Amino acid sequence: MLRWLIDAELQHRVQMGLNKGEAHHSLKRAISFNRRGEIRDRSSEGQHYRVAGMKLLAAIVIYWNTKKLGEVGSVPAKVRKVS
């Protein structure tokens, strides 16, 4: 605890990790807008499939965003046009 209070770099890394977690949860909330984010399947198997599908969809969105941001990052600044 004292190390965290003294070390600004550690505080920064912890804050970045918290921000990633919050962004991940926000994405999952946005994906599960149907049924107000509630999983109402009666069987545990149905619940498992619904949660697994949500995780898969979140992974696809994260992959696509990472790929597109990588493409934008690889374009030289002189070529990019700002609208």
Q: Residues 6 or more apart from 52 whose CB is under 8 A from it?
A: none
| Tokens read off for 57 | 């969809």
Task: Please give the pLDDT value at position 78.
Answer: 62
Q: How far out from the chain centre does Cα 44 lie?
A: 25
Residue with tokens 């990472």: 66
Per-residue pLDDT of 10-65, as tens digits, reads 888 888 888 887 888 888 878 776 666 666 778 888 888 888 888 898 889 889 98
Do the Cβ atoms of 61 and 31 come closer than 8 Å?
Answer: yes
Nearest alpha-carbon partner for 15 in 23, 55, 30: 23
